[in-house]
Structure 1
Amino acid sequence: MSFGQGGPPWGGPGSPGQDPYGSQRGSQDPYGTQDPYGAPNSSRDPYAPDTPDWAALADASAARTRRRRWLLIGGGVLATAVVAAIVATAVVSMNGGGEDRASDKNTSEPAVAGSGTPSESAAPEPSFSSVAPLPAPSPKDFISSADKDKAPLSADTLFPGRKLTMGDRVYEKGATSSTTNCAAATQGSLGSVLASNSCDRVIRATYAKDGVAVTIGVAVFGEEAQALKAKNEVNQRESGIASLSGAGVTTFCRAPSVCRKTVNSYGRYVYFTVGGFTSGKDVTTADKDVFTTGDDIAEFTFRQIHRRGRLQASAAAAAPVGQ
């Protein structure tokens, strides 16, 4: 059987060697070995199953993830830089173009002396007077001179009340007296001493307890110097204040009785005591009741004189300036 020159019977007319399915041999893979993603794969097994390359896909996904991460980091840095630039611009604008001004700064450093630009917001510092305050008046200043010692003075102001209590001892007050004839209230040479030192007056009061009586006499002078001089000139053996009887107290401490005598001074005041028994008994060193009574009355008199000075000093301190 002869096929003739035209080739086998399945050849297309006028196209020797053409694929009966219309595909050209040598120009197209008859088995579909072309990469499904468009990349030629001439080395691919023509009989391998038609599945994607998972390793290649994983590499591509990782590359895309890295690109997104770097894009996010870069975007964050850029955003931070933009915010910082905006804040810096605002601060510069608030500070007047970036120039330092004392009123805009919050600094703990003090302004430089003599700079001529003190801080406008600084609070004024407190000022203090360079003049030292006057010292508080001394009570003794007011009882050392008649010019300052202006408070009322009498037997009632020096010896108030009907009784005197010192500790657990209570004394009854007897007669009182006040005279400008200083010598009339004395015994012996005391009168001349008071007169020679310009005594202004003598105030007396008597206190008694259990048969013991003491008369206190306060001689008042114009100045402290006169009082001190008179006290130093007193001879207690030859003179003293005269005892004062009356108001329930009998006569005591008159010659020839022996009595206890004391003298002391404070400011412009000299105060004397004479104490003994109302029975006329002589006083000895063993008669402690006489000594205790005399000391109590003298201590009370000192307190009263000091109180005069304290009250007047307090009044002077509370008075307005210039009065």
Structure 2
Amino acid sequence: MSFGQGGPGWGPGDQQTPDWAALADASATRNRRRKWLFIGGGALATAAVVAVVATVIVTAGSKDDGKSASALPSPPALPSDSAHPQPSFSKVAPPPPPNPHDFISDAKKDTAPLSVDTLFPGKTLTTGDRTYTKGATARTANCASATRGSLGSTLAADGCDQVFRATYVRDGVAVTIGVATFPTEAKALHAKQQAGIGLAPLAGSGVPGFCDGGHAVCRNLFNSYGRYAYFSISGYTDGKSVTKDDKNAFAAGDDLAEFTFRQIVARGQSEAQAAATAPAG
């Protein structure tokens, strides 16, 4: 008896006795083959399932349902703040700031302290490259006493309240500046128009007499701003006359007149600012 190719053979001596060891090995080999086939088939089956699932996932993700990314539903709108109170703005325009000129044009509004020291502070006055030393000062309620000639009667007729004077000197040129106050701007303007020459020079405190006796020619200026009229007289302390080409005497008179004007303007600005920042009521 024999088996086909690949079958087990018989043992030694040809005694028709099966070779059990060989048969056992062959059986084990067949069992191992079946086992690997089973495991391999399971792996293939598992791979097939994974492939199907992956296909379904890919297909579902790429399915064209007519909605592009831009057509996706928009996020819900955020709630508005309409429920909260909104700031409101007054339609009434704020009042304009006070006009400084109004305060220095009427004695009823022009109530800040007023003295020689507020009008002519310090011991010197510097303007540009020129420095003047302050001499004598004076204040009087008898306006005519600070004048000479017809200016006194003019001041009295227009209701002059008081006159402040201060004298400054530089390089032998002395200037007396006088400020007269009136109840209203109109009164001060009329006094200026009628003034002419007439402020009395004020000597003392280191400044000798000047423009006295009518011998020397002196320069006179006059102007007004608000309820203030201001006058000046400029001359040499050595008695020399001022000529029309005298730059030193002219510069001194102009400097003091400009300074006085600025002091009056600054007074109005200060009063206007105080009124604007004062608490209501």
- TM-score for the superposition, normalised by structure 2: 0.72
- 2:154 maps to which residue? 193
Deviation at 1:317, TM superposition (A): 1.4
| Cα displacement string for residues 58-98 of structure 1 (whole angstroms, at most 9, x for unaligned residues) | xxxxxx9xxx69x83897279997xxxxxx9xx9xx9xxxx
Partners of 1:310 and 1:153 in 2: CA distance = 14
How far apart in 2 are the matches of 1:248 and 1:120? Answer: 78
Rg larger in structure: 1
Pair 1:261–1:105, CA change in 2 (3 A): same
Of residues 148, 160, 168 in structure 1, which corresponds to 2:121? Answer: 160
Is 2:90 the partner of 1:129? yes
In structure 2, the CA distance between the partners of 1:121 and 1:286, relative to structure 1 (3 Å rule), is closer
Alpha-carbon separation, structure 1, partners of 2:105 and 2:155: 17
Alignment match, 2:277: 318
Please give the per-residue CA displacement for 1:132-180, whole angstroms capped at 9, x wherever unaligned. 1111112222111111111111111111111111111111111101001
Cα distance in structure 2, aligned partners of 1:73 and 1:279: 118
Among 139, 145, 151, the residue aligned to 2:106: 145
> In percent, how many aligned pairs have the same letter?
57
Q: Indicate whether 1:221 and 2:221 are aligned.
A: no
- Look up the SS of the partner of 2:229 in the other structure: strand
Matched, 1:183 2:144: yes
CA RMSD, 1 decimal = 3.0
Q: Deviations over 1:251-292 (max 9, x none)?
A: 111213211000111111000010011111211112110000
How many residues are aligned here? 225
What does 1:47-62 correspond to in 2, within 5 Å? Answer: none
Where 1:247 maps in the other structure, the secondary structure is: coil
Query: Map of 1:1-323 to 2, 5 A cutoff?
Result: 72=56, 76=60, 105-106=77-78, 121=82, 123-234=84-195, 236=196, 239-254=197-212, 255-322=214-281
Change (3 A) 1:188 1:126: same
Q: Give me the TM-score of the superposition, normalised by structure 1.
A: 0.63
More helix by share: 2
Between the aligned partners of 2:209 and 2:272, the Cα distance in structure 1 is 40
1:206 and 1:130 map into 2 onto residues whose CA distance is: 54
5+ residue gaps in structure 1? 1-63, 82-87, 95-103, 108-118
Change over 3 Å in CA distance of 1:221–1:77 after alignment to 2: same
Q: How far apart in 1 are the matches of 2:60 and 2:82?
A: 40
Question: Which whole-Å deviations, capped at 9, do the CAs of 1:39-65 have from their partners, x for residues lacking one?
Answer: xxxxxxxxxxxxxxxxxxxxxxxxx9x
Cα distance between partner residues in 1 of 2:126 and 2:137 = 18
Higher relative contact order (CA 8 A, sep 6+): 2
SS at match of 2:279: coil
Structure 2 residue identity aligned to 1:72: V
Amino acid at match of 2:148: Q
Shift of 1:194: 0.6
Q: Secondary structure at the match of 2:117?
A: helix
Give the superposition deviation at 1:131: 1.1
